[in-house]
Chains A and B, each alone.
Chain A
Amino acid sequence: MTRKSVRIRKSLALREPAKPVAAAPAATPPATSKPRTRRDDFPILAASPNLHYLDSAATSQKPRAVLDAMRAYYEHDNANPHRGAYDLSARATQRYHDARERVADFLGVVDAPTLIFTRGTTEALNLVATAWGRTNVKKGDELVLTGMEHHANFVPWQQLALEKHARLRICPLTADGRIDVDKLKAMLGRKTAVVAFSHVSNALGTINPVRDIAALVRDKARNAVIAVDGAQSAPHMHVHVDELDVDFFAFSGHKMLGPMGIGGLVGRRELLEAMPPYQMGGDMIEFVGDETTTWNVLPHKFEAGTPNVADAVGLAAACDYLDTMGIEKVREHELSLITLIIERLRAIDGVTLYGPADLSLRSGVVSFNVADIHPHDLSTVLDQEGVCIRAGHHCAQPLMRRLNVPATARASVYVYNEPADVDALVRGVVRAKGMFAHG
């Protein structure tokens, strides 16, 4: 986006500050225990010292601050926003408005009403493929995707191409799992209507050069819109959407310490205003006549029905948590952990690692396989060690075909992971190897 952007820190103070919620007794660690760690901020981890959660690329755990914020909203401010002519409803409206401003600020979006709250990345991308795509894509157009896309950024475009008789083009990857930018360049032209790709691959952790790709698209395919799946970048690295020069950016709250059921789409204002609505109903209308209806302004035009205020409030609290820690520190912490994971796994005979060898191009995801052990069997063995990893195709079957494997095991880290989690992972892999050894 080209708008001049200034990062503004907005006060989140309520007009009537929420009263503190009584802490559950079990939430406080015993006084005699070791020094506080980040795990203590996460009730599910604090309650299970032997839980080694290495599946944050699927969903993150939630800090107490997020859970408290949601509870406080329901206990003190809950009403249907944008409706009631009474103070409580006005307060709920204000909380929802503030949450949007807070999340927009976190993502470097100055024009907050261009941030549409959705259920998550999947709904955000479907919104684009449906509301923008069905209006603008025509026969003979080309939709360019990459071989590493999550199904959420693949299937909606594939189906749109089928419906409109457009051509779906899938950009190949390099051997180490990066977008082959030269090949992408060759695919772009005046027929290109959409270029859709992930900021960070959920299955490989590859960080894609969004700004470089965007510049390439603007140069080679002036008519194309750029849609970025930011589900795996927003939680883990500094993302300033306004500076990316993309048209749509989708993200999920539950992968960034927020609750499930909230996420969003940031869109270029001119495009959002020209697009038809995605869903019809309450809140999104301006005036409903017997024959026709006019639409509400952004963001409401794309938010039909009662909004998900509590989850938006929770997501805003998650942004506070991440900003307090510092997103650069998050990135640094994850990089040190994946460095350790890769180093330790590489030392084990029979382990194949996927994705870029250059760790500066990787997020907190390590995809791997162990010779003669199916990832499902591996994950069952790891589960017995308290280690949670993902095993399977990671909703990226086109990528699995390109890697020529049916599935991989995937360990992914976040703010609460520690070297002890890596130890447990390695212990489990060694145990699985022992169990499945020939003989």
Chain B
Amino acid sequence: MNNLDALYQEVILDHNRKPRNFREIEGADRRVEGRNPLCGDQVTVWLKLDGDHVADVSFKGTGCAVSKSSASLMTSAVKGKSKAETQQLFDKFHHMITGKMTDAERGQMGSLAALGGVSKFPLRVKCASLAWHALKSALDGGGEVSTENEGPALTEGA
């Protein structure tokens, strides 16, 4: 599989066309907006907690196939996980998309492994990680509900 086909796998294209959890959550505990000022991509993540666990998570926004599918896959992957498990998954995910993971480790990533092709496209790392940074900010956000435009403007070096 060439790099381009590895980037735009069927899973990615499918989640781009039909993003999962692409909705607002009524009565969410947290809401964080993430922006990529370089390209104008924007994502809002809603989070509902049940104690220490992610009860529900969703997103909406505009972005490329990489950012949209990554957000979609993320919401499916972290639902039901504890905060600590979610943070661990974020760390692993970041390792994967920045090329710091072996193929064997990538095999443990479940459906998120489809985004492994991003590691060959350093310019697209920030697309893949945009929603994750918003989620992390939502998890770290203390007890307050974020309001519109309160979220951080997210940038990340490739």
Interface residues of A (CB under 8 A from B): 372-377, 380-381, 384, 391-393, 397, 400, 406-407, 435-436, 438
Give the residue of B7, B17, B68 whose beta carbon is less than 8 angstroms from that of A380. Answer: B7
Which range holds the interface residue count of chain B? 20 to 34
- Least distance between B42 CB and chain A CB atoms (Å): 7
Give the residue of B4, B42, B62 whose beta carbon is less than 8 angstroms from that of A381. Answer: B4
The reply to whether A407 and B39 contact each other, CB–CB distance below 8 Å, is yes
- Least distance between B51 CB and chain A CB atoms (Å): 37
The reply to whether B63 and A374 contact each other, CB–CB distance below 8 Å, is yes
If A376-B127, A380-B121, A384-B3 touch, does A392 touch B39 (CB 8 Å cutoff)? yes
If A374-B64, A377-B65, A406-B41 touch, does A436 touch B4 (CB 8 Å cutoff)? no
The reply to whether A380 and B4 contact each other, CB–CB distance below 8 Å, is yes
The reply to whether B8 and A397 contact each other, CB–CB distance below 8 Å, is no
The reply to whether A406 and B4 contact each other, CB–CB distance below 8 Å, is no
- Least distance between A154 CB and chain B CB atoms (Å): 15
| Mask: chain B, 22-50; 1 = CB below 8 Å from A; 0 = not | 00000000000000001111100000000
The reply to whether B39 and A377 contact each other, CB–CB distance below 8 Å, is no
**Which chain A residues lie closer than 8 Å to B41 at the CB level?**
376, 406-407
The reply to whether A391 and B39 contact each other, CB–CB distance below 8 Å, is yes
Number of inter-chain CB pairs below 8 Å: 50
Docked CA distance A397–B37 (Å): 10
Docked CA distance A209–B49 (Å): 57
Q: Which of B38, B42, B64: most chain A Cβ within 10 A?
A: B64
The reply to whether B8 and A406 contact each other, CB–CB distance below 8 Å, is no
If A406-B40, A407-B39 touch, does A438 touch B17 (CB 8 Å cutoff)? yes
Q: Which of A372, A376, A397, A407: most chain B Cβ within 10 A?
A: A376
Docked CA distance A332–B121 (Å): 37
The reply to whether A376 and B4 contact each other, CB–CB distance below 8 Å, is no
- Least distance between A213 CB and chain B CB atoms (Å): 28
Chain A CB within 8 A of B131 CB: no
The reply to whether A393 and B65 contact each other, CB–CB distance below 8 Å, is no
If A377-B8, A380-B7, A380-B124 touch, does A436 touch B65 (CB 8 Å cutoff)? yes
Closest to B3 in A: A384
**Which chain B residues lie closer than 8 Å to A375 at the CB level?**
64
Closest to B127 in A: A376
- Least distance between A25 CB and chain B CB atoms (Å): 32
**Which chain A residues lie closer than 8 Å to B4 at the CB level?**
380-381, 384, 435
The reply to whether B64 and A377 contact each other, CB–CB distance below 8 Å, is yes
Q: Which chain B residues (1-19) contact chain A, with CB distance < 8 Å?
A: 3-4, 7-8, 13, 16-17
